[in-house]
Amino acid sequence: MTPLDVDRSFTGSIAELYEQSLVPLIFAPYAADLAARVAALRPRAVLEVAAGTGVVTREMARSLPRDTAILATDLNQPMIDHAAAIGTERPVQWRQADAMKLPFADESFDVVACQFGAMFFPDKPTAFAEAHRVLRPGGVLLFNVWDRIETNDLAHVVTLGLESLFPHDPPRFLARTPHGYHDEARIGADLALAGFSGETRIETVAARSIAESAWKPAIAYCQGTPLRNEIEARGAASLEQATQCTAQAIARRFGDGPIDTAIQAHVVSAAK
């Protein structure tokens, strides 16, 4: 399995831990923000790509009119299955689909939305071109991506903690992929290559990540993301060791009790 395959693999218990631990830790505030931005556009049909366990889908189901069609997709079937099992306040469609090759007709949607998924696309311009293709004239691609890892306290501390545990071969998933697509000039250039000639806006949005203790984010990052795949590749006992090591690193930085740390992302809007 290549590093790219590892980074995109949300299998086993990752989906459940992702939803239980990571969603409230870092994704929830940005999901509410993204859904509100979608609602402000007043679309008739919305396609969500890289929907994960459905945190944005649930927010859109609450904030969009019932006659607005929502189709939520993800590359990983276990994530879609988990999202569908949680459910939404009103019906939405769930479907496994690859953002690199969307199985939908041209000009089918008013909005394509994506929450922290663009970083995982192997070829960003190709994925954006697919979004452009399925958007109606005047439609909008709306997505967010994490800012550089140094502006996101927990991800940075987890990465540094793992470097101390695996000094000769540290797992670099968090820096490489979730926080590896933050350059605004590159994002703009990729959108232009994909055919987006309308107005493009990139807004940096800061938020807070709150947890009851250091153990919560340690479990979230080490066991609820594809970082787990990298850790487990280093030995059978590595996952427990890594979780303990990162919990200790977080506690050293933020204390043993409840923690309140900085997170930061870019929100991108590109009009067709």
Residues 99-120: tens digit of each pLDDT: 999 999 999 999 999 999 999 9
The torsion angles phi and psi of 190, rounded to 5 degrees, stand at -65, -40
pLDDT given for residue 13 in this prediction: 59
CATH class in words for 3-271: alpha beta
Q: Check whether 15 has a pLDDT greater than 80.
A: no
Residue 180 has pLDDT above 60, yes or no: yes
pLDDT band at 40 (very low <50, low <70, confident <90, very high): very high
| 108 CB burial (10 A radius; 0-12, 13-18, 19+) | middle
pLDDT digits (tens, 9 = 90+) for 129-171: 999 999 999 999 999 999 999 999 999 999 999 999 999 999 9
Asked if residue 4 has pLDDT above 60, the reply is no
Packing angle of the helix pair 238-254, 215-223 (nearest 10 deg) = 140
Is pLDDT above 80 for 90?
Answer: yes
Distances (CA, A) of 66 to 89, 91, 212, 246: 10, 8, 36, 43
Domain ranges of the chain: 3-271
